[in-house]
Structure 1
Amino acid sequence: MATRRTQPRNNKARKSGEKSSTLRIIGGLWRSRRLTFSAAEGLRPTTDRVRETLFNWIAPVLPGANCLDLFAGSGALGLEALSREASSATFIDQSPIATQSLKNNLQLLKAQNATVLNTDAVKWLSTAAPEASYHIVFVDPPFRCGLVQQCIDYLQEDSILCKGAYIYIEIEKEAARPSTPEHWHLHREKEAGQVRYMLFICED
């Protein structure tokens, strides 16, 4: 995921002082591939441990799925999904640094089934009219910003989620479980370190 960041005024200065980090894809076509991404301030990629658990949970529905990675940041979740035979992935992040790194890595992987949007995820959801509904949505926003509930409210729109869609939500451990629609069934829930993560199924 990614937090709100300010783009440096001088691109040349940003490049000279920019730090990078690496991301390892755990399974699938690109298994064990390591990708470099710009370590922009506030970036908190989902850990390998949590990703491995999550993708074990969604393995039966992942092949052929249309995925939406909100607050994508490094793209860890969407890239893992594509590696494991998802049909497509839409990555959304408001940081130009994060989205440029994502585009570079998708080009490196020769991925043709991905879309990267440099925009505010909540605002995008409020006006979204996707050509096809999503089977899997990853919601991993900055902690302590109240963004999870806003995303849930917009995701209830019929045009965004397929019937039977899986919605993954990652929040800080101490936070209360967000309020979800009655037709969202809590399928799995777990904690790791300071993170609490949940998987819901939209049953209607």
Structure 2
Amino acid sequence: MRVIAGECKGRPLKAVPGTNTRPTTDKIKESIFNMIGPYFDGGIGLDLYGGSGGLGLEALSRGMDHFIFIDKDQKAIHTIKENIKQCNYGEKTEVFRNDAKRALKALHKREVQFDMIFLDPPYAKQMLMKDMEEIDKLQLLSDEGSIVAEHGSDVTLPDQIESFHLIRQETYGKTTTISIFKRN
């Protein structure tokens, strides 16, 4: 695993030890950023299931200003912090150990809106629709923002979830699908 493009191109990233976290492969990560970027003129992002932090760090390397990483697993939090240090993004990041629902409520209290939200929950715990409903209810996505959901290919998401509309969907191999949503 590595940062693919931008100012940290080529920097190696550590994976979370164990089998609870499934890192996004470099091939899929590159495809995601070709669909949504590939580069950015600033913005604030949220990685709600941070894992190793690879998606948010890639977005920072490609021009995002700030990223917030959330994960409930202590090993993941430790790995995210190590990878942030590897990329020298301490000033551009915040890392919190929390579950997704509590984290969304806490972010709402801060009155922050995101330009990009990554939802990449463990395949066995699909919470995508509930998370997106909560994101919409709490108005956490900016008007021009995107939600990038990575999920198992066996999961079918509707074209419309609250005020979010599916704009693109790609399947990779037999296991992984990327669904990108924007506000109507």
Is the structural similarity TM-score above 0.5?
yes
2-structure distance, mates of 1:94, 1:153: 20
The answer for the alignment partner of 2:54 in structure 1 is 76
The answer for the alignment partner of 1:189 in structure 2 is 169
Alignment of 1:75-154 (within 5 A): 75-111=53-89, 112-129=91-108, 130-154=110-134
CA RMSD, 1 decimal? 1.8
Q: CA deviation at 1:96?
A: 1.1
2-structure distance, mates of 1:60, 1:26: 11
Question: Does the CA contact (< 8 Å) of 1:169 and 1:199 recur in 2?
Answer: yes
Supply the AA of the counterpart residue of 2:94: T
Bigger-Rg structure (1/2): 1
Q: Give the TM-score, by structure 2 length.
A: 0.90
1-structure distance, mates of 2:70, 2:13: 18
For residue 144 of structure 1, give the secondary structure of its aligned residue in structure 2. helix
Q: CA deviation at 1:37?
A: 3.7
The answer for the alignment partner of 2:4 in structure 1 is 26
Question: Does the CA contact (< 8 Å) of 2:11 and 2:87 recur in 1?
Answer: no
Cα distance, 1:94–1:182 mapped onto 2, change above 3 Å: closer
Supply the AA of the counterpart residue of 1:198: S
Which structure 2 residue ranges, 5 or more long, are not aligned? none
1-structure distance, mates of 2:107, 2:88: 27
Q: Give the TM-score, by structure 1 length.
A: 0.82
2-structure distance, mates of 1:201, 1:38: 30
Identity of aligned residues (%): 30
- Which of 30, 33, 36 lines up with 1:58 in the alignment? 36
How many residue pairs get aligned? The number is: 181
1-structure distance, mates of 2:51, 2:162: 30
Which structure 1 residue ranges, 5 or more long, are not aligned? 1-22
